[in-house]
Structure 1
Amino acid sequence: MSALLVPPSSSSSPVRRGRDRDRGVALRTITAKSYRAFLASPEGEALGAGFLQCPSWADVKEGWLSQLLGWGPDPEAGRLTGVALVLLRQLPGTRKYFAYLPEGPVADWHDPAIDGWLDPLLEHLRRTGAFAVRIGPSPAHRRWDAARLKPFTAPGRRLGDVLASEVDPLGTAVAERLRARGWRRCGGEGTGEGGPGGGDGDAQPRHVFHVPLTGRTTQDLWSGLSQEWRRNVRRAQKEGVEVVVGSAADLPEFCRLLTITERRDGFRLGRSLAYYERQYAALNAEEPGRMKLYLARHQGEILAAHTLITVGRRAWYQTGASADHRREVRPSNALQWRMLQDAHALGADVYDMRGVPSTLDPEERVYGLLRWKLGTGGQVVETLGEWERPVGGSANHALHRAFQAYLKRR
């Protein structure tokens, strides 16, 4: 991943920084060291950055340039109030870029005066050469507890048909503020940790599944599992399924199992062994143990492999893979129970199981993923999704439309 050089006219210039400081906010490019120091600070931890906004993620994404930005009263002195990893994809045949902030920026979305930090960000990206920008605000919109959803499964039914357990007023307020400033919500369910690839859909999951950990004991977590889950975990233990933490040397086997899983379950992530090797190396170089590969062995054979990522007080189950045979010994349930306990022992506030579909229709193939995750007793969280807008004049609006058409062709 290459860093994009900022032209002299960008917002890192002394003139621009002075104007921003008049409003209490300065924005400039910062070092990875300063960025990581902010994420590790109490102020940064309170904002809850995800792994897609860590500096190391830039090294995972091939074909994208990157910038690390920080703003606050004095970014040069390390006095930051927010940061952003910006990925930039060049539009072929031009010197213009599409700017993407996956699940970012890492900012205080409670601030009603978001123009104070959002406007400098947009101006910086325009001066950098961006014709459009996509962001992923962190506030949630709605939540459904597992117990609420289970009785409402039926043909044709979707999450939106069920009254939410909670509607987050912050998410509603942020959505209104963005609409008022010309941002447009992208459509689609989202697929995972890629970049924008469908022209108009979310690149990241719109609906995710969380298991809250704060204030709960291991016994609480066990009691929160459904009877089926507890039975399956016990079955795995009785059958002698062994769960261990693997290494980079086990990634080829993980990818082999992932190919089997994709074929069996009818989806394709499109990620190669090289992708996971790059991810494993980059995340663990940034912080040892940030990404772990868990393996479930039975009679000497690896039957399932799942990845776990931790940043601060958050933990994510990113990707899971399993074999077609000996599924009756329940290796995936054993893996998840171990990963859930490890996340709890690390002090994580939430165990994020990433994306789930919005369907509650048992006849739809993808519903099986939601049903499986509901068994952990957590909750479905509808995020605000991704938001996009062109920056600059009419020429950039036209480039934005051309770029969307290009992505759809790809």
Structure 2
Amino acid sequence: MNAEILTPSQYDELDRFVASHPQSSFTQCSAWRKVKSNWGFEAVACRNDAGEIIGSVSVLIQKIPLIGTCFLYAPRGPVCDLHDRQVLRCLKSGVDELARRYHAHTFKMDPDVPASDEEFLAIARELGFRRFYGPEGFETIQARFNYRLYLQGRGEEELRMNLTQQTRRNLKIAVRDGVEVRPVGTEYLDEFMRLMTLTGERDGFAIRPRAYFERFLSALGEHARLYMGFYEGRAISGAITTNFGNKTCYVYGASDNECRNHMPNYLMQWEMIRWALETGCSVYDFQCFG
């Protein structure tokens, strides 16, 4: 079993594999390189005897100015059976080759795995990885913990009935007050940026530039949506969400300082959960906790 560094002509095959795997993540598909256009990109695959991909890791490459080295990062990678030592070792050998090729000093990965998975952690240690988090662990790149709603075998009515009483009440307020939530085109990006700016100022975080969100929506195409919430024709809430493989992910959200009493964000989340149900996703990921 040998690692293979894929060529761009093989990226469609990579994407089909990633989308079909339980460990799928939109940040591991080849389109992500177009979003992170200021990084380089390579993809490593491991194949079985039939030539089928059974493991992959998509790697972003950040050059470090002046010193001629790089930082390698696999967001939510690798995509494989995380308890398969042979496949993980194969993928690691491919990453080692990339590290030599790009003179990298560090490779970081943050796979989609429970923090309590001691079997995976043991394999990772065997392969030379160290587990760390906090300010030294680049925690701002991906949240350490995600909050997820599992949808497998559940319908809209069951999900609604399992919401807390307060959440159901807030949904009713949004509907009663005439809030409308719908997916929109990029012609609403300026309104979304207005809301993002207000949210960043209110909650004390830096926001990405408009061009980033434009690339995000363009690169992911049908796998991403911009949702906007309206009250009396005015945009008061916005969100960007992805739908890739078995997961729908709430990635960015913003809201106005006014009209929050109409509870637009509750209806926003509910409409995005409905998209996950309609497309057969097994997970709705609220992301970004911790």
Query: 1:38 Cα deviation (Å)?
Result: 4.2
Question: How far apart are the structure 2 equivalents of 1:309 and 1:94?
Answer: 36
Unaligned residue ranges in structure 1 (runs of 5+): 1-24, 143-170, 189-197, 358-410
Structure 1 residue corresponding to 2:196, chosen from 226, 244, 258: 258
Query: 1:32 Cα deviation (Å)?
Result: 4.4
- The answer to whether the 8 Å contact 2:82/2:88 transfers is no
1:207–1:329 CA distance, 2 compared to 1 (3 A): same
Query: 1:136 Cα deviation (Å)?
Result: 1.5
* Superposition TM-score, scaled by structure 1 size: 0.66
Alignment correspondent of 2:181: 243
Alignment correspondent of 1:6: none
- The answer to whether the 8 Å contact 2:45/2:91 transfers is no
- The answer to whether the 8 Å contact 1:26/1:73 transfers is no
Query: 1:184 Cα deviation (Å)?
Result: 1.5
Question: How far apart are the structure 2 equivalents of 1:46 and 1:310?
Answer: 14
Alignment correspondent of 1:67: 42
Question: How far apart are the structure 1 equivalents of 2:260 and 2:92?
Answer: 52
* Map 1:366-405 → 2, pairs under 5 A: none
Alignment correspondent of 1:135: 109
Query: 1:283 Cα deviation (Å)?
Result: 0.9
Specify which structure has the bigger relative contact order, considering alpha-carbon pairs within 8 angstroms and separated by 6 or more residues: 1
Structure 1 residue corresponding to 2:210, chosen from 273, 288, 294: 273
RMSD: 2.0
SS class of match (1:225): coil
Question: How far apart are the structure 2 equivalents of 1:52 and 1:352?
Answer: 14
Aligned residues: 288
* Map 1:173-212 → 2, pairs under 5 A: 173-188=119-134, 199-202=136-139, 203-212=141-150
Alignment correspondent of 2:77: 104
Query: 1:132 Cα deviation (Å)?
Result: 1.8
Question: How far apart are the structure 1 equivalents of 2:52 and 2:177?
Answer: 55
- The answer to whether the 8 Å contact 1:88/1:99 transfers is yes
Alignment correspondent of 1:378: none
Question: How far apart are the structure 2 equivalents of 1:115 and 1:234?
Answer: 48
Query: 1:239 Cα deviation (Å)?
Result: 0.7
SS class of match (2:168): helix
* Superposition TM-score, scaled by structure 2 size: 0.92
Question: How far apart are the structure 1 equivalents of 2:83 and 2:92?
Answer: 16
Query: 1:199 Cα deviation (Å)?
Result: 4.7
Query: 1:320 Cα deviation (Å)?
Result: 0.7
Structure having the higher Rg: 1
Which runs of structure 1 show a deviation greater than 6 angstroms over 4 or more consecutive aligned residues? none
Alignment correspondent of 1:225: 163
Question: How far apart are the structure 2 equivalents of 1:340 and 1:186?
Answer: 32
1:300 aligns with 2:233: yes
Identity %: 30
1:335–1:281 CA distance, 2 compared to 1 (3 A): same
1:56 aligns with 2:15: no
1:272–1:206 CA distance, 2 compared to 1 (3 A): same
1:340–1:50 CA distance, 2 compared to 1 (3 A): same
User: Which residue identity does 1:319 align to in structure 2?
Assistant: Y
Question: How far apart are the structure 1 equivalents of 2:249 and 2:219?
Answer: 16
* Map 1:303-342 → 2, pairs under 5 A: 303-342=236-275
